[in-house]
Structures are given as C-alpha cells and as structure tokens.
Amino acid sequence: MYNIKEYNRYKYVLENIKDIIWEMDASLVFTFVSEASEETAGYKAEELVGRCMLDFLTPESKNYVAQKWRERFTGTENLKKIILYDVQFVCKDGSLIWVEVSVKPIINNDKLMGYIGVTRDISEKKSHEEELKKYIEELKYANKRLEEMATFDMLTGAYNRRKFEYFVKMSIEKKENSGISFCIIMFDIDFFKKVNDTFGHREGDRILKEITAIVKSSLREQDKVFRWGGEEFIILLPELPLERTEEIAESLRKAVEQNDFGIKNHPVTISLGIGEYVINDSIEQFVSRVDNGLLKAKSTGRNRVIIG
C-alpha cells in the first residue's frame, strides 16, 4: 500500500511539474523524459526518448556542454557532484529557449551508468538579464561620455579648462620637491572674431580644430593642450626650462603662420605669451603673468612670442 502511494505521488509530480525531469544513459541518450517537455519545447516525451541530448542544442551550447562535461565529469569524486549550466535548447518549431540544466550522475560500483536531471525554462530570466546587461552597457557609455565632457573640449579634443588645475598642480609638486622646471604657453588666434563674422562660425570652428591639431602634432607626448576659452589656449610643458619653451613657442607660431587654412586674403596667425613657474606663485599668479605676456604680444603687433 505504501509503495502504491509513493508511486502515485511521484507520478503526480512528474505529470504536473513545469520543469522537465529526465534520465539519460552514459552516452547522453534520453531513456526517460517527463511530459512537461511538450509544454516547454513542443516535443512529446516519446519524441525525445532514444535521442541524444546534444541533438537539441545550438552549436555554441553543444561546445559549452562538452567543455563542462570534460571539466566536471572526470574522476570518481567529480562524478558524485551535481553540475548546473545554462544552454540554448532548440524547440520543435525551431525557436530557441534558454534552459537551466541540473545534472546528477548515476553511479553503480564506481561506474558511470547515466545521468538524471532537471531542465527549466529560464528564457524570461535571460531576457531580463540581457536587458539589464544592455542597460549597464548604456550606463557605462553615458558615464564615459560624461567623463569625457568633464575632461575634454568637445570641439577641439583639447583638455578643457577644468583639467588644467589638476595637471599643473602635479608639475608644481615636482618643482617644489625636486626643483624640476616647467612652463606654460598661452596663445590666442589673431583677429578670430573677424574670421567668424566674415566666414561664419562653421569656418571658425574648423580653424580652431585645425590649429589644435597643428599644436598637438608639434609637442611631446607629456605636453598638455587646454582650451582656455573661445580662441584662447594654454599649453603645459612639464620638465622644460624657459629657453626651450621659447623655442617651441616660436616653432608653433611659424607652423600656424605657414599653414594654408584655405581662407582667401585672411592669413591666420597666433600671438603667444610664455612663462616659467616660480616657487610660491599661486596658479592664478602664474597664469596671470603669462597672460600679460600674451596681451603684450597682441598689443605690439600680434603674431609674436613674449615672455610674461
């Protein structure tokens, strides 16, 4: 009587549980499949019995399962363990579903006889996971863009003004600790307002980008270019004395002057102020001193370099 009750109980569970209960031989051929297979994948139980489990997986899932089998089902001790994995199952109508598979080896006298397991449809869960993954990727991209916006000028690709303080403080620390000199160059595009007024802001933007490219290509890797505002830029030159900075500034001035910007009857030039950091100067004092050099370069004819 007890055995009949137990049998009926198990039979009821097998017939009503949504998960697919199955048994396979050592060759991964189904020897038993519960009726839930029809609702989950469209296959009647008898359509699966006698077929290899791998026949119903996508190529990627087949490779994944084969790897899992090699990793886990080798050696007597490992054969006693349950393995859990997610794979894509090909339904009878050709559609794909994600399933979670739990497998337990059947062992008799240390010999592998087959496997028993449970297969559960987790397509909805996977869909939510993919949506979450997509959202996280979008969030990462948005954060990256925000970081770029907080770091770089979007038009020219130069660092923005906010990053100048960060980098110049590093150079000041080196100067105070090791006595290593550093300088800055501040430059302004001559008569830039006239370029915008005459040729339009699109041309003005092109000039800004082209000059930034010229400057970057003429500098060392450790040098930093910042768009200070409008047509004004600052270049930070770490570990460089004033004499060498003056040579670089003059080289930049000539490079811009000799470049063909494609604007008829309107040469494009820059005026530059330069300066070396002096111990106990604040950042504001240092920049102001170099800015005075730039103002003097502009007031004395433009297209020249003046030490501030």
Distance CA 291, CA 170 (A): 21
Report, in angstroms and rounded to the nearest whole number, the Rg of the chain calculated over CA atoms.
36
User: In this structure, how many other beta carbons lie within 10 angstroms of the beta carbon of residue 255?
Assistant: 15
Contacts 24+ apart (CB under 8 A), 102-111: 105/73, 105/79, 105/80, 105/81, 106/23, 107/76, 107/79, 107/80, 110/76
Q: Which of 231, 250, 276, 284 is catalytic?
A: 231
The two three-digit tokens of residue 54, written as one number: 């791998």
The two three-digit tokens of residue 107, written as one number: 């062992």
33, containing H or E segment: strand 30-33
Distance CA 85, CA 203 (A): 59
Helix ranges restricted to H, the chain: 2-16, 36-41, 45-48, 59-72, 123-151, 161-178, 192-199, 201-217, 242-258, 283-299
Closest CA to 270 of 242, 240, 237, 233: 233
**Chain position carrying tokens 């010999």:** 111
Is 23 catalytic? The answer is no
Q: Which residues are part of the catalytic machinery?
A: 231
